[in-house]
Structure 1
Amino acid sequence: MSQPSTSITYLTFQGVFKAISHIFFREIKTTDIQNVPASGPCIFIVGPHANQFVDGVVYMSVNPRPSYALMAAVSYDKPLIGHVGKILNAIPVVRPQDIVNVGTGKIKYDPVNQPLQLQGQDTKFMEEIGTRDFIVFGRNYKVHVSKVLSDTLLEITHSIQVDQQVVGDDYVPFKIAPHVDQTAVYDEVYNYLNRNECVTIFPEGGSHDRSEMLPLKAGFAVMALGAAAANPALDIKIVPVGLNYFHPDRFRSRAVVSFGQPMTIDKADVAKYKLGGKDKREAVTKLLDQSDEAFKTVTVNAPDYDTLMVVQAARRLYVPKSNAKPSIEQVVKLNRHFVSLWAKLKGDPSLEAIVKKVKYYNNMLTFFGIRDYQVDKLNITPVKAAYQLIKRITKLVAMAGLGAPALISNLPLIWITSYISKKKQKQALAGSSVKIAGKDVLATWKVIVAAFAAPALYGVYALFYLAYLLKHKPNLSLNAKLTRAGLIWAIQPILHYLLMRLGDTGLDIYKSIKPLFLAIRNPEAGEIIRSMRKDLSKDITEFINLHAPELGIDGNGSSSSSVAPSTTSSSSNHSSANITQVSRSNSDTNLMDQRNSTSSSTSFLEASFSTTTDDMPESYLVSSRDESFLEYSSTDELNESKYHVESIVLNEEDGGDEQSSALSQI
């Protein structure tokens, strides 16, 4: 088996992945890449897994250390993805959830009177279930079978907490996830680590589109501790890698890949792991907790979408002392720090006030159809706005004239990628209990479909040109005609890429037009929005600077120390959005004075929003719907023990088969 560090094939695929990444994404940045160990055994844990196979493409394109990736067997067996995995020597893993079966009959679980037993009704436990299988029921409640007593009674390894309102006292349907022996997988991982190679794992176990990371699975921790226990000379490093997308499913969006500080495995934990039983579970749990905290330094882990929207708004309103526009890397770090601040100050009554202010501001922008970054463009006279509007529309028309042929010729490609990706989105959502809308598969299928459809479409156009030459250019030789048609086929991707870059510029110009319309149509409304933003920005900036030492940042929003942001656990209960505390300053009074002086505009705005002002901050006379952009409560799918560590050690006398149970959590 070839080693990726010296494999030309690996480097070739890495180059291809870089090309794919930079076509789909407008910008990809990396932060702290110096944290990647230059040599020695290493396990990269990558998350959040928000973009299915595109995650692997982006990660591999920027990681300077080649590595072997663990890959779900169902993906490994797919025609295209699996073939790439085989070429890159990926390690296939059979996941129990991929071979789950529907059980015969129904079951009932009584956590009070019979916490270690499951009762069946019309079931065939003896025929369908074996020791170490998983039983899944309700909203993804999962128990581990320790012994099958009869066709209607079995024992489980440990009790779980269930919501009786969900499960009830009645018998419910169930599914069976068979036990899978993963010894060969562990042996292969150990071999790579012993050769000072790297292994990559997505420890959430599957892709999703949630705003927070799923609970980390125990597999990678058992691998690291097991390898260190088997070879004490190994100095294994665990490196957290954060994939931060601004719009993961959107073509020409942006991404930041952050590499965290390498973690060294404690020798004391390795010794405890060797003891087995409770000590082994404690060692694994400790490493998982450390990894969970490490992920918080490289990811933005908001508890829900509403909180994430408020966090991003607060970050945009924050002004660093340098007054410099933050880079894309700094934007991700600021989002991370603001989520940390939300966690520290959660429950403070003053937080609710600033949350309302930010939401009112966001909703006002939505009402007028502009974005936050466009507000500064409202500081312009109607005459200048009209001049700029004419100038930019002229540029836009010229660019549209250049780009229209490319757009029209690519309409079939756009349609088919959109159609198939949305179809796959529906299928993925139907087969998952943790996805919100199934958006994590969109980018993957857009890339896969385009990879085949684009060359085929350009080939069709080349054939049309060849047909034209055959009919209208009889003096040309056949070789000349074929050569010209081939050149037409080859030049189209290059031409369309250049026009795509031109389209990026045109899109920026288009986005600047809306605020110019508002500045011409209603300059007073623009002034009120700018005043609101200025005052809100001042309050947020003062508060962030006040709490900068707690967050480990300086006044410019950059990390001032190695202190890791302390956020809520990825498996904690989710609450409604509270983001950042702002002192009630004189800016409230100033804004009131400004609005009193522009009463006509205020009346217009108040009439535009048919809501009362009884519960809003006194500085805000303008309100709109105070609702979440996307609401969902904490799900019951993730309500079992934090990392399922209790199921790692089933039976010590079985000698190492506990690895299979742990790997089933990968």
Structure 2
Amino acid sequence: MDSSQRLTYDTAILFWRVITQIFFREITPRGGSNIPRDGPVIFVGAPHNNQFLDLILNVQVYQETGRHVQFLMAAHSMKRRWIGFFARLMACIPVTRAQDEAKPGKGRISLSPDDPFVVVGHGTQFLKDLKPRMHIMLPKSLNAATAEVAEVISDTRVRLKKEFEERFDSVTEYKVLPVVDQSDMYHHVYKCLQSGGSIGIFPEGGSHDRTDLLPLKAGVSIMALGAMADDPGVKVKIVPVGLNYFHAHKFRSRAVVEFGTPLDVPEKYVEMFKQGGAQKREAVTKFLDLIYDGLKTVTVRAPDYETLMLIQAVRRLYQPPGQHLTLDQVVDLNRKLLVAYGKYKEKPRVQALQNDVLKYNSLLRNLGLRDHQVPRAQKSGWRTLGLLLYRIVLLLFWTILALPGTVLSSPILVIAKIISRKKAKEALAASTVKIAGRDVLATWKVLIALGLTPVLFLFYSIVATVMVTRANAPFKWKVLTPFATLVGLPIMNYASLKFGEAGMDVVKSLPPLIVALIPGQNRSLEKLRAMRANLAERVADLVDDLGPEVIDDFDESRIITPRTRSYGDLSSIAGLRQRKTDGAADDEGNYTDSVSKHLSI
């Protein structure tokens, strides 16, 4: 980058930092010391769960080191007006993807019953529409499987290089994927790396909302190996970056950005890459496996949503009441528990504990409680009633303070919610990997807010000016009103945001008080507390027994020590750092601030 580009990037990253700090309640960096301060670096981010907001990776790298990261971005995304505008400000490199250029094929196709490598056309014109190295893509109902064309035999017969991963017996529609020339993109990447710059990439390809990583695309491996093969003096490092969110698509959620240990590119793979052919493909594949292993150390990967919920429940049981882990410690503990569960889930002892944890969660839902509220849930009495009334009054107080900004910004909130849900449905319909399209919600909420907020504030300033004019106010007030409105509204909205958060913290503390006042619920609360105590002890025993088999330095690296694991023991936890906000984790991975901590049950 030249000086003007660097200035533009600095301005854009400052703006993006403000936006992300408004959207997220907290972004916690971890492992910032792992970021190389100089030399060529490729930052590999995953999972790609929050579409364009995943570019918080840029912000964290800039804050830690001042480095400028040029991210690769789909060319069709950069063609969008506002996304493309900001992407160019941050020097993103466009990548043309074959699937974005796909066109419906003429006629229909089926597989030859005699040879799975031969595609038979029905009303097709393969000689005109297809060429070797192009790809044929099946419809979404067949997982959009693709296969490369090796030879066009006739208008109705094509031989594939490899057979489709998804077998099909009937005649079906198809799409044609062109051969994409990526030489210009690789030229920009090599130039950046050879000048000691930084490249960012999400190697899964498109964004998704799954709990596990998608298979990685080979591009990141080719970039590193190609840059070093092209210039022997270049020593590229790969930094795996885990993007771990707590409710990624929700406003004022939290995130942990974890930087892993930098990976060196093995010289033997560079030499294999130079040889081309099968050796080159093998080098790309093997180095991609190393990158995947690096990402596994910084991401929380679960095979499905149910398993992730189970692990989070076990983590909460393993954490003693009253002791509050930081966000990055929560992520680390979740990851370690997932590794252990994947290894020992077939053991009878683990399965028995799993069944009992699920029963405990079911009882929690029936009572409308969260796990962190159980240890201190009180028996009903005048004190409980008084505390409930006090908190309701406090909630009204915070609500009144938050009301002006909430009312004024409500058009933005409503429109953003409606449009983002519509965009999520569209994204889901066009994707084969998304589950509910939640990965695009946050991006669209931010984009809509960015577009509507200036318009709405300008409208309010005009209305205020008209009202002052009709009231025959002094001339200076007529002049100052629009400026005061445009300055005051953002401040009022931010204040309302903070007041609203305090109110929500109070709301979260009400359920156990209400439950305690319901006649006959005391017995259920006692049962729940006893069940939690029993599960907490069993989880702690299981972790102590199996932990050393999963983690070599288990005793040295553990977050929670045996001495503090007891349900009733609220002494210290080894390695904990006191959060500046005195925050406390609840059962969903959210945190209450210092206000609700002092009000907690």
SS at 1:89's partner residue? Answer: coil
Per the alignment, residue 239 of structure 1 pairs with 239
C-alpha displacement at 1:10, in angstroms?
1.3
SS at 2:489's partner residue? Answer: helix
Per the alignment, residue 124 of structure 2 pairs with 123
TM-score by length of 2: 0.88
The CA distance in 2 between the partners of 1:77 and 1:553, in whole Å, is 49
Q: How big is each residue's C-alpha offset from its partner over 1:122-170, in whole Å with a ceiling of 9 and x where there is no partner?
A: 111111112211111132221011221111111222234434xxx12x2
Per the alignment, residue 37 of structure 1 pairs with 36
Per the alignment, residue 269 of structure 1 pairs with 269
Contact 1:365 1:371 in 2 (8 A): yes
1:203-602 map, 5 Å: 203-319=203-319, 324-474=323-473, 476-477=474-475, 480-521=477-518, 522-549=521-548, 550-552=550-552, 554=554, 558=558
Identity of aligned residues (%): 38
C-alpha displacement at 1:41, in angstroms?
0.3
SS at 2:243's partner residue? Answer: strand
C-alpha displacement at 1:295, in angstroms?
0.8
C-alpha displacement at 1:548, in angstroms?
2.6
The CA distance in 2 between the partners of 1:462 and 1:108, in whole Å, is 63
Runs of 4+ residues deviating >6 angstroms: none
Report the number of matched residues.
551
The CA distance in 2 between the partners of 1:151 and 1:492, in whole Å, is 65
Which amino acid in the other structure matches residue 162 of structure 1? E
Contact 2:75 2:94 in 1 (8 A): yes
Which amino acid in the other structure matches residue 441 of structure 1? V
Per the alignment, residue 91 of structure 1 pairs with 93
Contact 1:333 1:558 in 2 (8 A): no
SS at 1:281's partner residue? Answer: helix
C-alpha displacement at 1:553, in angstroms?
6.0
SS at 1:378's partner residue? Answer: coil
The CA distance in 2 between the partners of 1:124 and 1:59, in whole Å, is 46
SS at 2:376's partner residue? Answer: helix
The CA distance in 2 between the partners of 1:155 and 1:195, in whole Å, is 43
Contact 1:382 1:523 in 2 (8 A): no
Contact 2:48 2:202 in 1 (8 A): yes
The CA distance in 1 between the partners of 2:552 and 2:386, in whole Å, is 46
Q: 1:96 to 1:401 in 2, by over 3 A?
A: same
Per the alignment, residue 17 of structure 2 pairs with 18
Q: Is 1:154–2:169 an aligned residue pair?
A: no
Does 350-359 or 337-346 show the bigger shift? 350-359
Contact 1:330 1:558 in 2 (8 A): no
SS at 2:431's partner residue? Answer: coil
The answer for unaligned runs of 5 or more in structure 1 is 561-586, 588-666
C-alpha displacement at 1:37, in angstroms?
0.5
Q: Return the match for 1:105 from 104, 107, 112.
A: 107
C-alpha displacement at 1:326, in angstroms?
1.1
Which amino acid in the other structure matches residue 426 of structure 1? K
Q: How big is each residue's C-alpha offset from its partner over 1:428-463, in whole Å with a ceiling of 9 and x where there is no partner?
A: 111111111111111001101111212221222211
Q: 1:28 to 1:283 in 2, by over 3 A?
A: same
The CA distance in 2 between the partners of 1:558 and 1:191, in whole Å, is 43
Contact 2:13 2:90 in 1 (8 A): no
Per the alignment, residue 146 of structure 2 pairs with 142
Per the alignment, residue 79 of structure 1 pairs with 81
C-alpha displacement at 1:349, in angstroms?
3.2
The CA distance in 1 between the partners of 2:3 and 2:97, in whole Å, is 26
Q: Is 1:173–2:173 an aligned residue pair?
A: yes
The CA distance in 2 between the partners of 1:13 and 1:552, in whole Å, is 44
Contact 1:378 1:527 in 2 (8 A): no
The CA distance in 1 between the partners of 2:211 and 2:160, in whole Å, is 33
Q: 1:503 to 1:35 in 2, by over 3 A?
A: same
Per the alignment, residue 59 of structure 1 pairs with 57
C-alpha displacement at 1:359, in angstroms?
1.2
Which amino acid in the other structure matches residue 456 of structure 2? L
The CA distance in 2 between the partners of 1:553 and 1:334, in whole Å, is 14
Which amino acid in the other structure matches residue 354 of structure 2? V
C-alpha displacement at 1:248, in angstroms?
0.6
Per the alignment, residue 628 of structure 1 pairs with none
The CA distance in 2 between the partners of 1:227 and 1:540, in whole Å, is 48
C-alpha displacement at 1:52, in angstroms?
0.8
Contact 1:553 1:559 in 2 (8 A): no
Per the alignment, residue 648 of structure 1 pairs with none
Q: How big is each residue's C-alpha offset from its partner over 1:528-559, in whole Å with a ceiling of 9 and x where there is no partner?
A: 11111111111111211223332356469747
Q: How big is each residue's C-alpha offset from its partner over 1:78-133, in whole Å with a ceiling of 9 and x where there is no partner?
A: 100101122222111110111111111122224x8424322212111111112211
Contact 1:462 1:488 in 2 (8 A): yes
Per the alignment, residue 605 of structure 1 pairs with none
Contact 2:399 2:499 in 1 (8 A): no
Which amino acid in the other structure matches residue 158 of structure 1? K
Structure with higher RCO (Cα < 8 A, 6+ apart): 1
Q: 1:509 to 1:208 in 2, by over 3 A?
A: same
The CA distance in 2 between the partners of 1:218 and 1:346, in whole Å, is 32
SS at 2:454's partner residue? Answer: helix
SS at 1:149's partner residue? Answer: strand
